[in-house]
Structure 1
């Protein structure tokens, strides 16, 4: 029998998590974090389930699965009012908190976990702005708490950024990672740091894209085309650090120095780790190590596999053209 899952907060994030959890076969309870009268709650619960149903039907419309699956998946999702918190949380192996990004509501949600969740349950906040080190003090069980940042739409994007505090137990971390993998997610672990990984990188990229338009370098349409068919295309296959190693950290270093001088802006300078890697001879695949270690790897086979991945993306986009032979 699959573990029971609970979400404190039945807003957009809670509904998205309920969708992906139920899709993976787990029963999930959405606990309304606000106190409502009977009629108001009934309307709220109906709306929450309608949103989940709508998202499921949207996936059917794009060919993800057969329409017959929708009622089966939806039957695993329930919505309970705040006064039934004990029932909602009892027996849950994982409790996700998805209330507004304000400390007071989070403290209230954590108090519900402390009061009603089983002794072995793991509490995971889905916050995108507050650090696990800041929130750990809101629960009497900090060893069972950590952040799990889903990227919207939570039911579709595989990545979940998992951020433990210095009080999170290894057992809680391993348990949550295992669960996320079991429902088809890709968990990555990062320290409690503003912006986690993806929001920190994408904030810089989005701001730079906006600057290109602001400076008249290119139109918004052409900037986005460049991102879709160049930047995004490459980094959907190669990670950013893997790409540095692919081309060589020395290339990045000299290109960054040129950009910083040409733009007269230190934001383009390479970080110290790039120069340090150069000094240590760790510039990528051509030296056997960079940010990643390539010792003992068949580099020709590795490059070929990556090229095959690029080709699959082109095929998926309908952009593979046969060679012209006449």
Structure 2
């Protein structure tokens, strides 16, 4: 990057652009929130007021929650400016990275990306925040696809650490490395994934959310009870152990047999284990017990690793107010 805290532009002044603006302003960057379409002056003034009010509210909320002194909220807000479409060329040319966040309509995105890429400085990075459209379906509209990729943020963008970064066939390795470094510098956790529908989290959560809704529909439990089970069981563990790490922790054989049972008992192929689970079974890649699973545990101090993970789970107990002292003998 050209400087320690390079200027950022968000193309599109909607929820995603505003959330990204909060995150970068919080981390010390100047941010131009660029309106993606021309508006009469009074309409733009209303948009500007609304955007800055929402960004200011988000910053003040973070202060009230203890992340920083509330006296600094206005100074952080002052790092963000809302730019009309008529002044977009200057704002886009000044930015080291531009995040596109216009509505999820292919032709609309292509048009916005084409205009933006033509106005940007040589070497600047252009990233679409699309949650549905693959990078290679958008890159033909971009002036230099080597500096273009997807960066999928999860709402609220200024709180959730994860950003799913998806390079295209033409994306330069330096572009990916620079964007990941920038994201890490503001406290985000970038994860690189192939250009695939649903990326990682949306693909996982779509299955989980549909199954939760299906259990309500089938009368398995109430919505309240299912959500309680998610918070104190499903989410409790996966907040510490990654999902594939958890398979290894318990053993891939447990998932293999559970999948076979649920497929038969519930009569649906959605519970069938993928081939990789069966292959791991055949090859003895069960997980912690064999030293190999989805992850490689060879050479690792397993006892120390288990204690570290259990310690993290205990911290989650404390955070939930559920870490009770033992009942000691009289």
Q: TM-score, normalised by structure 1?
A: 0.98
In the alignment, is the contact (CA less than 8 A) between 1:165 and 1:192 conserved in 2?
A: yes
What are the within-5 Å matches in structure 2 for residues 179-198 of structure 1?
179-198=182-201
Counting matched residue pairs gives 326
Which portions of structure 1, spanning 4 or more consecutive aligned residues, are displaced by more than 3 angstroms? none
Q: CA deviation at 1:36?
A: 0.9
For 2:41, which of 1, 21, 38 is the aligned residue?
38
For 1:173, which of 176, 196, 218 is the aligned residue?
176
Q: CA deviation at 1:114?
A: 2.3
Q: CA deviation at 1:115?
A: 2.0
SS at match of 2:96: strand
Q: CA deviation at 1:249?
A: 0.5
For 1:7, which of 4, 10, 14 is the aligned residue?
10
Q: CA deviation at 1:265?
A: 1.3
In the alignment, is the contact (CA less than 8 A) between 1:29 and 1:88 conserved in 2?
A: yes
Q: CA deviation at 1:57?
A: 1.2
**1:132 matched to which residue of 2?**
135
Q: Does 1:299 align with 2:302?
A: yes
What are the within-5 Å matches in structure 2 for residues 230-309 of structure 1?
230-309=233-312
Distance between the aligned counterparts of 2:57 and 2:233, measured in 1? 33
Q: Deviations over 1:227-252 (max 9, x none)?
A: 00000000000011000000111111
Q: Deviations over 1:260-310 (max 9, x none)?
A: 111121111110000101111111011111000001100000000001100
Gaps of 5+ in 2: none
Q: Deviations over 1:210-242 (max 9, x none)?
A: 111111111111111000000000000001100
Distance between the aligned counterparts of 1:259 and 1:111, measured in 2? 49
Q: CA deviation at 1:78?
A: 0.7
SS at match of 1:90: helix
**2:218 matched to which residue of 1?**
215
* 232-241 vs 312-321, which moves further: 312-321
Q: CA deviation at 1:112?
A: 2.4
Gaps of 5+ in 1: none
In the alignment, is the contact (CA less than 8 A) between 2:117 and 2:126 conserved in 1?
A: no
**2:53 matched to which residue of 1?**
50
In the alignment, is the contact (CA less than 8 A) between 2:118 and 2:143 conserved in 1?
A: no
**1:228 matched to which residue of 2?**
231
Q: CA RMSD in A?
A: 0.9
In the alignment, is the contact (CA less than 8 A) between 1:85 and 1:112 conserved in 2?
A: no
Q: CA deviation at 1:66?
A: 1.3
Distance between the aligned counterparts of 1:104 and 1:259, measured in 2? 43
Q: Does 1:26 align with 2:25?
A: no
Q: Does 1:103 align with 2:106?
A: yes
